[in-house]
Amino acid sequence: MVAWRAVSVGAVAASAVAAAVVLPVEGGPSRPQAQAVAAATARPLAGKVIVIDPGHNGRNYKHPKVINRKVPAGPFKKACDTTGTATDSGYAEHAYTFDVATRMARLLRAQGATVHLTRPNDTGVGPCVNQRAALANKVRAHAAISIHADGAPGKRRGFHVILPGYVKGYTGPIVTPSKWLGYDIRYAFRKGTGQPYANYIGRDGLDVRTDLGGLNMSKVPKVFIECGNMRNATDAARMRSAAWRQRAAVSLATGMAHYLKR
Ligand SMILES: [Zn+2]
């Protein structure tokens, strides 16, 4: 296993490149070397395909028939989607997830990655959880992440990453790579945002589930993250802050980039 270093996405690339290229003692690198270093440093994720799924959608609540219909979610069916939760002041999970996803996409594209979001805006309905997984399968994503925030009783707080458990005939091929993705996301998110591990679910910021269609229907490495509890005052204040959401996005992009360089 590669040792995990807490440095920015760009710094990882720069240090990796610097270590890989033997520079002349005098006169600096030759022009081709310098160009190679510059190119690799600027676009370290070139060729990588990433799907970011902002959980829920802004108009789900207006279309219960659409989002309540049952869709394949593994060896069983589940509702197409849900409305998601909100802070006590009314800041909605779907708005939070879309904002963080958009910020994360911008950061990863700047590193050269091809990034797909599962929904283009925050004013639509769906798509269903199986369709969100299907997009990543279709574009053969190297990795996918579904961004959420929880709605638990108010004294509970912290974040957790949800890994796919083994579901026969479904998640077998993705269980192990998703675990590595989850480790990288967990490390980067705690380091970058200061969020503690959830004190009410999972263990050390990780939970394993076999009931989520978004994971069961995925053929590519995928995790969910519940960034905090929107019903907790401390977590809610963070999620309402645009500056903190940027930190969340940077952290998620850093963790994703680390996974993609494994
Ligand atoms: Zn959610």
Q: Tell me how far the alpha carbon of residue 108 lies from the centroid of ligand 1, in angstroms.
A: 22
Amino acid 80: pLDDT: 98
Each residue's pLDDT tens digit, 197-256: 999 999 999 999 999 999 999 999 999 999 999 999 999 999 999 999 999 999 999 999
Average of per-residue pLDDT across 168-182: 98
Residue % of the chain over a pLDDT of 90:
84
Kindly indicate the confidence band of residue 40, based on its pLDDT and cuts at 50, 70 and 90.
low
> What is the CA 154 to chain-centroid distance, rounded?
24
Kindly indicate the confidence band of residue 34, based on its pLDDT and cuts at 50, 70 and 90.
confident
Average of per-residue pLDDT across 180-204: 98
Amino acid 33: pLDDT: 75
User: Of the listed 226, 245, 255, 256, which one is catalytic?
Assistant: 226
Q: Of the ranges 10-19, 66-75, 129-138, 190-199, which one carries the lowest mean pLDDT score?
A: 10-19
Q: Tell me how far the alpha carbon of residue 148 lies from the centroid of ligand 1, in angstroms.
A: 4
Instruction: Let me know: does 181 contact 226? Beta carbons within 8 Å.
Output: no
| Virtual torsion, Cα 80, 86, 92, 94, nearest 10 deg | -30
Kindly indicate the confidence band of residue 4, based on its pLDDT and cuts at 50, 70 and 90.
very low
Which strand (E) or helix (H) includes residue 186? Answer: helix 175-193
Does the structure show a pLDDT above 90 at 46? yes
Kindly indicate the confidence band of residue 39, based on its pLDDT and cuts at 50, 70 and 90.
low
Amino acid 215: pLDDT: 98
Q: Tell me how far the alpha carbon of residue 84 lies from the centroid of ligand 1, in angstroms.
A: 5
DSSP track, 57-99: -TTGGG-HHHHHSEEE-SSSEEES-----B-TT--BHHHHHHH
CA distance 20 to 44: 14
Q: Tell me how far the alpha carbon of residue 20 lies from the centroid of ligand 1, in angstroms.
A: 41
Q: Of the ranges 11-15, 88-92, 152-156, which one carries the lowest mean pLDDT score?
A: 11-15
CA distance 149 to 145: 13
Q: Which amino acid is at 45?
A: L
Residue 169: C-alpha distances to residues 73, 175, 208, 218 (Å): 12, 12, 17, 12
Q: Tell me how far the alpha carbon of residue 146 lies from the centroid of ligand 1, in angstroms.
A: 9
Q: Tell me how far the alpha carbon of residue 135 lies from the centroid of ligand 1, in angstroms.
A: 18
The domain limits of the chain are 10-40, 43-260
Q: Tell me how far the alpha carbon of residue 24 lies from the centroid of ligand 1, in angstroms.
A: 53
Does the structure show a pLDDT above 50 at 22? no
- Angle of helix 242-260 versus helix 93-110 axis, rounded to 10: 50
Q: What is the mean pLDDT of the chain?
A: 91
If one compares 9 and 80, the residue with the highest pLDDT of the two is 80
Kindly indicate the confidence band of residue 17, based on its pLDDT and cuts at 50, 70 and 90.
very low
Is domain 43-260 annotated with CATH 3.40.630.40?
A: yes
Q: Which two tokens stand for residue 196?
A: 């503690």
Average of per-residue pLDDT across 154-172: 98
Instruction: Let me know: does 185 contact 145? Beta carbons within 8 Å.
Output: yes
Q: Tell me how far the alpha carbon of residue 85 lies from the centroid of ligand 1, in angstroms.
A: 7
**Is 226 among the residues known to form the active site?**
yes
CA distance 139 to 135: 6
Q: Tell me how far the alpha carbon of residue 22 lies from the centroid of ligand 1, in angstroms.
A: 48
CA distance 107 to 142: 17
**For residue 127, cis peptide bond before it (omega within 30 degrees of 0):** yes
